[in-house]
Structure 1
Amino acid sequence: MKELLLAIKKREQGETQDARDLLLSLVKEYPENPEVLYQTAWVHDALGLEIEAVPYYEKALQNGLDGEDRKGAFLGLGSTYRTIGEYDQARRTLEQGMKEFPEAAELAVFCSMVMYNQHEYEGAMTLLLTAVAETSNHEGIQAYKKAILFYSDKLNEVWK
């Protein structure tokens, strides 16, 4: 769909309000199209309209959005829920994304932020340290990967 590609291009070029206007007209024409809904959610997020983005993300996921866009929608929706203080919804969303996309460390990182907001510091650190150890190419991180993974869930233990 040519108009959708144009809207994406406009968003990528920083013409977010023009992209939003175009996407809102596309939603009227294609109200069930998951790609249109996802891009509409994304542009709302880009404009700082997080609350308005939520129903578009939700409907895009419900309507069968797939592939990389589905992963992006879980991340976008989970992150958006977090920024508006809906921590339980954020966590459920990100955990569902982690089930569907277990290789997507970015979902775990965002979930660790939610866990921090929920005062679950140990679990947040475990998720975050595991993501860092498993995905970083940094020489120093890789040199200590085994230790980082070992201690990731033992932060409160003291060995004497």
Structure 2
Amino acid sequence: MTNDWQRRVDAVWAAADELGDAEVIRRIDELAAALPGDDPRGPFEAGGARDSAGLEVEAEGYYRRALELGLAGRARTEALIQLASTVRVLGRPGEALELLDAIGADAGDLADAVTGFRALALIDAGDPRGAASEALEALAAHLPQYRRSLAAYARGLRDDAASA
């Protein structure tokens, strides 16, 4: 059931633009209900459906439940990123930063996503120079040219932000 269940979830997300928010929520909730109550994938996907629909207050509880139930691996990283984004939108950028920092070395190929969401949270926390620094440092790593220069400017922004 695991592979088939995930395939069906992925199909809902692939068609999300055509389905609309309400239908995505309905279908994800139906799939989540097919899992045992202690399976963290159900609340994780239900939270994502609500978050995608702009229902952050509802999404927060689902994400927290998924994490409490022991969501692991990449899904845990995704849940922490999504929860951080949600609490930032709800006006709690400091908490968003704490959640993103909790990911640490587990970010894997989502490290740049963590950086992007950290930058948004830093802006909301009143640190736009720190946000620009983090975003530029992440970008510099992908450049074929000007990598050293951009990284140095990013460090300068970070140092300026730290001394402010």
Is 1:33 aligned to residue 39 of structure 2?
Answer: yes
For the 8 Å contact 1:112–1:127, the answer to whether it is kept is: yes
2: CA distance, partners of 1:124 / 1:68: 25
By how many angstroms is 1:128 displaced? 0.9
By how many angstroms is 1:142 displaced? 2.7
Q: 1:36-51 alignment to 2 at 5 Å? A: 36-51=42-57
1: CA distance, partners of 2:140 / 2:148: 8
Q: Sequence identity of aligned pairs in percent?
A: 22
Alignment coverage as a number of residue pairs = 152
Deviations 1:57-99 (A, max 9, x none): 1121222222222221121111111112121221111111234
Q: 1:136-147 alignment to 2 at 5 Å? A: 136=142, 141-147=143-149
By how many angstroms is 1:24 displaced? 3.1
- Structure 1 unaligned regions, length at least 5: none
RMSD, aligned CA: 2.4
Is 1:64 aligned to residue 70 of structure 2?
Answer: yes
By how many angstroms is 1:10 displaced? 2.1
More helix, by proportion: 2
Question: What TM-score does the superposition give when structure 1 sets the normalisation length?
Answer: 0.81
User: Which of 58, 76, 82 does residue 76 from structure 1 map onto?
Assistant: 82
Question: What TM-score does the superposition give when structure 2 sets the normalisation length?
Answer: 0.79
For the 8 Å contact 1:74–1:94, the answer to whether it is kept is: yes
For the 8 Å contact 2:84–2:96, the answer to whether it is kept is: yes
